[in-house]
Structure 1
Amino acid sequence: MRQTHTVIVVGAGAGGLASAISAAAAGFDVTVIERTSAPGGKMRQLSAGGRPVDAGPTVLTMRWVFEQLFALAGADLGARIGLKRAELLARHGWRDGARLDLFASIEDSARAIADFSDRENAEGYRRFAADSAAMFSTLKPSYIDAQRPGPLALMQRIGLFNLRDQLALKPLSSMWSALGSYFPDPRLQQLFGRYATYCGSSPFMAPATLMLVAHVEQDGIWLADGGMHAVARAMERLAADMGVRFRYNTEVQAIDTRDGCVKGVTLKDGETLPTDSIIFNGDISALAALTGEAGGTGVARTPPEARSLSAVTFAMTARTSGFPLAHHNVFFSDDYAAEFEALIGKHTMPLIPTTYICAQDRSHEGGLAAGHDGERMLFILNAPADGDTKTFTTKETGECLDQALDHLSACGLSVDRTLMEVVPTTPDQFHRLFPATGGALYGRASHGWMASFQRPGARTRIQGLYLAGGSAHPGPGVPMATLSGMLAAESLAVDRASMLPSRRAVISGGMSTA
């Protein structure tokens, strides 16, 4: 009888869940070890006012990634998760009372921008939408949906002599400067520059290539029944249906290696689990402490100065009035440059923080579900990733909330403070949730044209040890972390097949094995 090869996945975040599903689909025997009590990693849920509130990522894009993953397991995504496409992507507000909605329809957004600003900026948006779509079209097969290339390999995939597409990626321009060529209105530079924060980065330091994030949203934002944590639960159920075992409330103390090869894991309670294949779904900065081999993995920790942003978040239930919330909302400060100077230059919280609100009981256009006294919301404020050196006091956390509420009030949104039920999470708490990160939520910041190539790929120098998650290629965010898990499982399957020629464990689905 053929012996089934055992794979251990460390961490049940999006990357770990995707790698477990992909590896199981390829015929491997998979066990997932998770230190918390639930799947999802950053796709976590908190209880506020006795109700579950999504307290991590809130935007689901790149549906094709999840369709591809579920298809590997012979499952239909739509049958497993209720998903509704949002026609209104987000509502944006400013302190002077200005308001702008963006839509899935490019022409609807262009008309809204013309009314908000003028025809010149609307035409700039049409050019911006076309250019960001072209960027994504170029990078999807060559970078996003493929094993990590170096700069030369990426040029080869695009075409060494295809200078037009290479230059169209704008790798040497900052996102902020590039946006100025589309939008004379500085408010629109601010709005579209915010997409750099999806990678925990500053639009003043990130390459213009991150414009493609705007296309990803315009191409489709999806609202999942039950929220983002329900997506993690659906992935967990699919994996379990395939025979994947989950061990929750179980912490890995060490990844055991010998002679440059994986030998198993040692758990915190002293139990050892033998295996020669591990997929590590955690931040790369935590890897050295687990392997005990300085430099042995070939994966360096992210230095503090290169970390992405962290956040101060508030999961809450509260009553609101005034500004008509949609599902996704952003309230901008007046001085974006000063905000990022505080966050990155001075490592402090800005006095007037741009505030994102996911109003989780509202439809995409703003309809509020009935039946509850108050609505569920998640506030997200960018913060420095210094959670390993600074602890937020209760007073400081309260001051952050007061500053955000005062800012929202200036933008026209009133939140009844007398009935709020609030659960905060600060960078030091994120550091404890995700060890060795300082609270950085996106791995390495995407600052400079080389940053994307400094994220490690799926393979390490230790035979049998693979990487998944937002700090590895292709980058942060739930869809990208999901792709990283699929790429890790693909690398594992290819490597096992090369060592055991009789085995044909091949993962299909269109991802390059280059």
Structure 2
Amino acid sequence: MSEGNGMGGERVAVIGAGMGGLAAALSLAARGFRVTVLEKADQPGGKMRAVPAGETLVDGGPTVFTMRWILDELLAEAGFATDEHLRLTPLGVLARHAWDGSDGVFDLAADEQASAEAIARFAGAAEARGFRGFAARAAAIHATLDRTFMRAARPNPLTLVGRAGLEGLARLWGVSPFAVLWDELGKHFRDPRLRQLFGRYATYCGANPFTAPATLMLIAHVEQRGVWAVEGGMHTLARTLGLLAERAGATFRFGAEVSEILIEGGRVAGVRLADGERIAAERVVVNADVAALSAGLFGEAARRAVPDQGRVPRSLSALTWTGLARAEGFPLTRHTVFFSRDYRDEFDRIARGHLPNEPTVYVCAQDRGDDGSPPGGPERLLVLVNAPARGDRGQPTREEIERCEQATFALLARCGLKIAWEPGAVRRTGPAEWARLFPATGGALYGRDLAGWRASFQRPGARTRLPGLYLAGGSVHPGPGVPMALMSGRLAASALMADHASTRRCHRAATPGGMSMRSATTEPTA
């Protein structure tokens, strides 16, 4: 991307071109702010990265795209239409599921009626009735929390009740705010396979199904409303957002690592790059894990601007294999999950800091659709298992990773899937590599752990204690995942614009004629 000139107005530096930073940059640039996005990598996307494999690129991060209406709203507010810039195809099969031990194969459909009928064939009429009750409850949770929690500036229990109003109190209580997901699933499903299937939704947020709040059932409703395949891969979504932000006036600088957030007069004054260059800005949006701020990686003043994250429990990490391969013997769809035989033991081991002896395995076959037709040659695959976020503590060890790799592909083989990687076209990434890519996280890919009902309220919001400093990304409210990260960027932009408007009103009252804004500058190091 080339550098653009913006449309005049206050200068904003956005640190990080992940989904939250891209959303904030697009929103602010479209409204006249002079936005400069500083990204240490050579491409946009953050965790939504593209991994080279031979002559092609493979999605090496998020692979499931839901809640497209959030993207539609973001682009429409900036004057763009999604369908004019991206080709999104709705999937009829949300995911295919298989169980070790020949316990069957089950496809969860985007159509609720089709899923209920399939469950009746797979596990019986009683389980189909349980699914209908579960689906209704998931829809009710989503309807209750959409405006009051997910789209709201950082909520707490009191503001949540206030937004719901007297009529909404009963609905809030109905979302089972204090219940645990695994326990609540047992009220809907007796078949352990279905409990395992829907319990896996906790991992979408990097959480343990046995400690996560029951409110995560809303993810099932979100998927029923649509899962889309992005033509060209998920990284195309990131690149497109970057291009549109640039068209709106934002400037992108890649290979630009920020080492310090500068403070003058008790508020943000810009940033300093690792090479010493200083970039002046009246406001800064940080699209990095809040743990990096808390650890002092952006300076002491910025560290004090956020709550200490040193003892915050971490979400899951992952062990992944990404590359080109020939897959035979099992009819993969775009999203396929192979479940372990002992789900509780899997997460108990992760909670103790170890890789599972027998992991549940997710396979994304990027070149396949609903019918599972193979591409007729090597295809792009991402294979993923959950892992503890202890990459900065020397865990898991290489020996443990090797054992887990053997167990992973042995499970796939027992289910009938044989994967032959193309020579030199596969990359393994574990917690240590994620920790290096995203410092201060230990490899946690979703921010703090969502164990217990309080955790959702303990994520920082867009505003910080330091005037002019704002937060975006999956580690802050409303949480992890592509649509939530986009929402966080919109919330950061909204908070910044509200504070900017308030500041201008104050200055107009004190100085008739308004405030004269300086032109954007890049200043030499003092």
Q: CA deviation at 1:393?
A: 5.6
Residue equivalent to 2:461:
457
Residue equivalent to 1:312:
319
State the SS of the aligned residue for 2:393. coil
Superposition map of 1:424-463 within 5 A: 424-463=428-467
Q: Is residue 118 of structure 2 the alignment partner of residue 112 of structure 1?
A: yes
The structure-2 alpha-carbon separation of the partners of 1:125 and 1:82, relative to structure 1 and needing over 3 Å to count, comes to: same
Residue equivalent to 1:269:
275
Residue equivalent to 1:158:
164
Contact 2:161–2:169 (CA under 8 A) maintained in structure 1: no
Q: Is residue 355 of structure 2 the alignment partner of residue 349 of structure 1?
A: yes
**Alpha-carbon separation, structure 1, partners of 2:424 and 2:418:** 12
Residue equivalent to 1:510:
none
Query: Which of 144, 152, 156 in structure 1 is aligned with 2:150?
Result: 144
Superposition map of 1:40-439 within 5 A: 40-97=45-102, 98-160=104-166, 162-288=168-294, 289=296, 290-293=298-301, 296-301=304-309, 303=311, 306-344=313-351, 346-370=352-376, 373-390=377-394, 395-416=399-420, 421-439=425-443
Q: Is residue 40 of structure 2 the alignment partner of residue 35 of structure 1?
A: yes
Q: Deviations over 1:199-243 (max 9, x none)?
A: 111111011000001111111000011010000011011011111
Residue equivalent to 2:519:
none
**Alpha-carbon separation, structure 1, partners of 2:199 and 2:444:** 20
**Alpha-carbon separation, structure 1, partners of 2:497 and 2:189:** 47
One-letter code of the match for 2:181?
Answer: M
One-letter code of the match for 1:342?
Answer: R
Contact 2:435–2:441 (CA under 8 A) maintained in structure 1: yes
**Alpha-carbon separation, structure 2, partners of 1:366 and 1:280:** 40
The structure-2 alpha-carbon separation of the partners of 1:20 and 1:191, relative to structure 1 and needing over 3 Å to count, comes to: same
**Alpha-carbon separation, structure 2, partners of 1:471 and 1:302:** 14
One-letter code of the match for 1:76?
Answer: A
Q: Deviations over 1:348-377 (max 9, x none)?
A: 01111100000011013312234xx32110
Q: CA deviation at 1:50?
A: 3.3
One-letter code of the match for 2:201?
Answer: Y
Q: Deviations over 1:284-312 (max 9, x none)?
A: 000131131386213321525x1000000
One-letter code of the match for 1:187?
Answer: R
Residue equivalent to 2:472:
468
Contact 2:323–2:426 (CA under 8 A) maintained in structure 1: yes
Contact 2:18–2:45 (CA under 8 A) maintained in structure 1: yes
Residue equivalent to 2:494:
490
Contact 2:390–2:396 (CA under 8 A) maintained in structure 1: no
**Alpha-carbon separation, structure 1, partners of 2:182 and 2:448:** 19
Contact 2:324–2:422 (CA under 8 A) maintained in structure 1: no
Q: CA deviation at 1:53?
A: 0.7
**Alpha-carbon separation, structure 2, partners of 1:63 and 1:294:** 33
The structure-2 alpha-carbon separation of the partners of 1:327 and 1:420, relative to structure 1 and needing over 3 Å to count, comes to: farther
Q: Deviations over 1:452-507 (max 9, x none)?
A: 11001000010000000000000000110011001101100000000102689xxx
Unaligned segments of structure 2, at least 5 residues? 1-6, 509-513, 516-526
**Alpha-carbon separation, structure 1, partners of 2:46 and 2:217:** 27
Contact 1:302–1:443 (CA under 8 A) maintained in structure 2: no
Q: Deviations over 1:364-405 (max 9, x none)?
A: 3312234xx321100111000001101556554443322111
Contact 1:318–1:420 (CA under 8 A) maintained in structure 2: no
Contact 2:334–2:366 (CA under 8 A) maintained in structure 1: yes
State the SS of the aligned residue for 2:94. strand
**Alpha-carbon separation, structure 2, partners of 1:440 and 1:363:** 30
State the SS of the aligned residue for 1:293. helix
State the SS of the aligned residue for 2:321. strand
The structure-2 alpha-carbon separation of the partners of 1:418 and 1:226, relative to structure 1 and needing over 3 Å to count, comes to: closer
The structure-2 alpha-carbon separation of the partners of 1:447 and 1:392, relative to structure 1 and needing over 3 Å to count, comes to: closer
**Alpha-carbon separation, structure 2, partners of 1:241 and 1:418:** 39
Q: CA deviation at 1:23?
A: 0.5
Contact 1:251–1:268 (CA under 8 A) maintained in structure 2: yes
State the SS of the aligned residue for 1:162. helix
Unaligned segments of structure 1, at least 5 residues? 505-514
**Alpha-carbon separation, structure 1, partners of 2:310 and 2:235:** 28
The structure-2 alpha-carbon separation of the partners of 1:335 and 1:225, relative to structure 1 and needing over 3 Å to count, comes to: same
Q: CA deviation at 1:155?
A: 1.0
One-letter code of the match for 1:311?
Answer: A
**Alpha-carbon separation, structure 1, partners of 2:280 and 2:302:** 22
State the SS of the aligned residue for 2:301. coil
Aligned residues: 499
Q: CA deviation at 1:169?
A: 1.1
Contact 1:262–1:276 (CA under 8 A) maintained in structure 2: yes
**Alpha-carbon separation, structure 1, partners of 2:79 and 2:310:** 37
State the SS of the aligned residue for 1:172. coil
**Alpha-carbon separation, structure 1, partners of 2:28 and 2:422:** 50
Residue equivalent to 1:508:
none
TM-align CA RMSD: 1.7
**Alpha-carbon separation, structure 2, partners of 1:378 and 1:476:** 20
Contact 1:310–1:441 (CA under 8 A) maintained in structure 2: yes
The structure-2 alpha-carbon separation of the partners of 1:81 and 1:418, relative to structure 1 and needing over 3 Å to count, comes to: closer
Contact 1:286–1:436 (CA under 8 A) maintained in structure 2: yes
Q: Is residue 495 of structure 2 the alignment partner of residue 478 of structure 1?
A: no
Q: Deviations over 1:4-50 (max 9, x none)?
A: 21000000000000000011122101000000000000110111233
Contact 1:102–1:109 (CA under 8 A) maintained in structure 2: yes
One-letter code of the match for 2:133?
Answer: R
